[in-house]
Amino acid sequence: MNILEKRKDFPALEQEVHGKSIVYLDNAASTLKPQAVIDAINQHYSKETANIHRGIHFLSAQGTQKYEETRTSIKDFINAPKEIEVIFTKGTTDSINLVAHSWGAAFLKPGDEILISTMEHHSNIVPWQIIAEQKQAKVVEIPVTDSGEIDEKALKALISPKTKMIAMGHISNTLGTVNPVKKYIEWAHEVGAHFLVDAAQSIAHMKVDVQEMNADFLVFSSHKMFGPTGVGVLWGREELLNAMPPYQSGGAMIKDVSFEKTTYNELPEKFEAGTPHISGVNSLKAAVDYINEIGFEEISKQENDLLHYATDQLKQIEGLRIIGEAKEKASVISFTLEGAHPHDIGMILDEQGVAIRTGHHCTQPLMKRFNVPATARASFSFYNNRDDVDRLISALKKAKELL
C-alpha cells in the first residue's frame, strides 16, 4: 500500500490558505478527519438521530447498538480485557479529571504523594494539584534531562511507599519523547502505587496495549486519532473502577432513585451520566476502522521517515535549536529560532500556507525547565510527506530573513 494515497481521504488537505496549498503540521493539537469519519457524523444527524439506551423504537435501538459497537471496537483497539472497562468521556482532560476526583477523593490520604513529570500537559498536572490540596496530599515533580527524557535515577529515588499514583504521558506533546511507561509501571507496582498513562499523543501513532504495558488507567481523545472532537476514553481496571464513586450524577448512571436513597448503576454506565455525545462516539468507530485498515506498521514507517528527514533539514538552519532530542521520539519537533519569537515565526509560516503550533503547548513547567518562553512546534501525521517538510524549511528560511 502506498500510504500517501490516503491523502485524498482528507478534504481539508485540498484547500488553499492565503493563496497557497495548505501544509498541515499541527497534528499534535488535532488531526484532520478522513471522509469516512465525516460521512459517519453526517449519517447520524441525517438518518439516525435519537437518544440511546432508553428508547425501544428503531432509531434508539440502532443508535444504542452502534454506541456499544464503538465500545467493543475501543476494547479491541487497546486490548482491554472487558468492554465495561471502557468509559466514554469528553476527552483526555475529562478522563484525567474523572480519575483524579473520583479515585483521588476515595483513596488519597494526607501525606500521600502523586508523581508527575515536568513534561506533562497541564491537563495531567492541575487536576492532581486540586485533589491533592483537598486531600492534603502532595504532587511531586519528576525531573527531565537535557535531552528531554525522564530522569530515571531521580524517578527511582522519588518512588516510595508514600507514592499512590504516577501519572505520565506516553508521548510528550511538546518534545515528542516516547516514555518507556511499561518499565515505570513495574516500578510503581513494586510499592503498591497505581499508574495512569496519558495516551493522547500515542494513540494515533503506535499500538497501545493496556494489558501488555500492565497499566491501571489509560486516557486519550478521539480528535487526536482522526475522530470528532468532544469525545474521549478512560480505560481502567474493573476492580478499580468498581471501587470508585461516581464522578458526575444524573440520568443513566442510576439504578433506582428515591428521596430516601439512590443506588448507582454498574460499569460502564456508572461513569456516563446524561445524554452522551452520541454522534461523536458512533463516528469514533469509523476512525478506529480507518487506522486499523492502514495499520501501525505503515503509519510508523511514514512518520519516522518524516521525523528524521525534518530533523536533519532543521539542523541545517543556523540559529535554530531543537528542544528535546530523546533517543525514542515520535513525530513532534519543537524548536526556537535565534532572534525570532515563536509567534512571529508562526504568523510568517501561516502566510506561506504552513500551519504549525506556537506557544507553551500547555507545558509551562517544561518551558521553564528549558529556559524558553515558548517554542514553535511541527507535528506530523502519516498523510504528511517530504514536500510538506520542504515547504516548512522554505518558509522558515523566509521567516529567518524577515526577522
Say yes or no: 266 and 331 in one domain. no
CA 7 from centre of chain: 22
Query: Does the annotation count 63 as an active-site position?
Result: no
pLDDT in tens, 12-54: 999 999 999 999 999 999 999 999 999 999 999 999 898 888 7
pLDDT classification of 252: cutoffs 50, 70, 90: confident
Say yes or no: 46 and 73 in one domain. yes
| pLDDT recorded at residue 395 | 96
CATH number of the structural domain spanning residue 281: 3.40.640.10
Which of 276, 292, 308 is the endpoint of a domain? 292
- Please state, in angstroms and rounded to a whole number, the distance separating the CA atoms of residues 309 and 319: 19
Flag whether pLDDT at 317 surpasses 90: yes
Which of 292, 318, 347 is the endpoint of a domain? 292
Say yes or no: 261 and 132 in one domain. yes
Note if the bond before 373 is cis, omega within 30 degrees.
no
Q: What percent of the chain has pLDDT over 70?
A: 100
Say yes or no: 203 and 254 in one domain. yes
Judged by phi (left if over 0) then psi (alpha if -120 to 50, else beta), residue 306 lies in alpha
Say yes or no: 18 and 83 in one domain. no
Say yes or no: 328 and 310 in one domain. yes
Say yes or no: 162 and 206 in one domain. yes
Residue 204 grid cell = 494515533
pLDDT in tens, 88-137: 999 999 999 999 999 999 999 999 999 999 999 999 999 999 999 999 99
Domain that holds residue 69: 38-292
Q: How many residues are listed for the chain in this entry?
A: 403
| Sequence-separated (6 or more) residues with CB below 8 Å from residue 215 | 181, 185, 195, 196, 197, 235
Q: What percent of the chain has pLDDT over 90?
A: 88
| pLDDT recorded at residue 257 | 82
Q: Active site residue: 4, 59, 362, 372, which one?
A: 362
Q: Identify the residue with better confidence: 398 or 257.
A: 398
Tally of domains in the chain: 2
Say yes or no: 56 and 136 in one domain. yes
Say yes or no: 251 and 147 in one domain. yes
Say yes or no: 383 and 278 in one domain. no
Say yes or no: 215 and 91 in one domain. yes
**Mean pLDDT across 256-266:** 84
CATH number of the structural domain spanning residue 395: 3.90.1150.10
- Please state, in angstroms and rounded to a whole number, the distance separating the CA atoms of residues 53 and 51: 7
46 CB burial (10 A radius; 0-12, 13-18, 19+): exposed
Which of 265, 292, 319 is the endpoint of a domain? 292
- Please state, in angstroms and rounded to a whole number, the distance separating the CA atoms of residues 130 and 104: 10
Say yes or no: 155 and 259 in one domain. yes
323 CB burial (10 A radius; 0-12, 13-18, 19+): buried
pLDDT in tens, 152-165: 999 999 999 999 99
Measuring CA to CA, which residue among 122, 129, 168 is closest to residue 149? 168
> What values do phi and psi take at 119, rounded to 5?
-85, 5
pLDDT classification of 4: cutoffs 50, 70, 90: confident
- Please state, in angstroms and rounded to a whole number, the distance separating the CA atoms of residues 327 and 67: 40
Give the least confident one: 58-62, 207-211, 238-242, 378-382: 58-62
Q: Identify the residue with better confidence: 62 or 142.
A: 142
Residue 26 · residue 331 · CB < 8 Å? no
